[in-house]
Structure 1
């Protein structure tokens, strides 16, 4: 592992986890020349140490690491850094591998070989969405569920429901349009990227995870939970049903 100086916090810090020297060098050079502050690790264990010692906005993660599975790295860092942007870089093209990566906590993925131009576009889109200033929206109350976008909190009876970043953003978008049909295209454009190049399985995996977490929270609640339900609209998208008064 190579450990450069800590990232310049005037720029976005990016942790690269890639054991291929050619790809790693290409990513490090390309990111630095485009205004990012990259740090390059060649192994999963080293990346976990580096992540705990530095401050990073994004993680570019290869799945085929020499010492541990990249999915385990994704899970560990997602648990420790809920707001970290995780983009998986993989040579695995099977749908099951892509779904596993997203379910492990990744926000996005690129299948090798990929162009630096596309990677930079993805980074800009994700990071712009996280930093664009806008008036703070009022909390949305749906039965016993409260969504506070300013605090990025989802609570049931005042108890936090731990949601991954994309799960929260997906629920927040549906919550702002509770009772309305929201198309898959709208969800992909606003939660991910209007120039998304990948499969919409990303949406399906995130939605499945969101539903599991809401169900688990309702089951763990010490008293009956008055919860909104997410309805799948075949061929269109989803609708968040308002709980009856």
Structure 2
């Protein structure tokens, strides 16, 4: 039985979510503030966390920030009444896997949950690396190096780079990138992919002579191994 932590201070909403999840066969627990949420995360192992941004004592963003210091794997879906791009991007930058804007249909939330629980946690060996030319990524330590220079990436930028490198020399559409990196079929504007490609380029390509990340007009993006 999969375990889901519901972090939500609106009692009626958290109860509705809990009942729906239990009906679907999930084990659940509710935290109505950030401090309890962190305590539950430390005391137990969760398959997925539903995390409201606006909660008392510690904000959802702060809970997420602290969680990701020690846990890169547990899927986190943000629940927010805010429909601002900045809030969504901030949450994704901190390591959230997905977000749902209130009010939402419970069927959509359940579909997002199923999608994330289907994704296996990647288990890597200490020595496993991806390389493209002089760019390398250690999948165990998450260290990114180009030409002996270490590059710092946010969790979302790292996931995007890894997906490109795993598919080097293959042109990937924005929809493919969105589904694989963000973890669900995205039905809205895919401009967020362009934004994150720009972020990664600034860090991986800008200071070097040869750009690895290429735009294929009308299709999407690829990372090219120029040594091939």
Q: TM-score, structure 1 length as denominator?
A: 0.74
d(CA) in 1 for partners of 2:90, 2:184:
23
Tell me if 1:86 matches 2:69: no
Q: 1:132 to 1:77 in 2, by over 3 A?
A: closer
d(CA) in 2 for partners of 1:174, 1:132:
16
Partner-residue secondary structure (3-state), 1:87: strand
Residues 48-57 or 234-243, more deviating: 234-243
1:239 to 205, 222, 228: 222
Q: Identify unmatched segments of 5+ residues in structure 2.
A: none
Q: 1:99 to 1:159 in 2, by over 3 A?
A: same
Partner-residue secondary structure (3-state), 1:52: helix
Tell me if 1:100 matches 2:90: yes
d(CA) in 2 for partners of 1:58, 1:209:
27
Residues 199-208 or 44-53, more deviating: 199-208
Q: Identify unmatched segments of 5+ residues in structure 1.
A: 1-10, 220-224
Q: Show CA shifts across 1:173-231 (max 9, x none).
A: 3223323322112212333456323442443454455456657xx99xxxxx9987223
The root-mean-square deviation of aligned C-alpha atoms, in Å, is 3.3
Q: 1:82 to 1:34 in 2, by over 3 A?
A: same
2:212: which partner in 1?
A: 229
d(CA) in 1 for partners of 2:48, 2:203:
24
Q: Is the 8 A contact 2:97 2:183 kept in 1?
A: no
1:52 to 42, 49, 53: 42
TM-fit CA distance, 1:42: 0.4
1:34: which partner in 2?
A: 24
Q: TM-score, structure 2 length as denominator?
A: 0.79
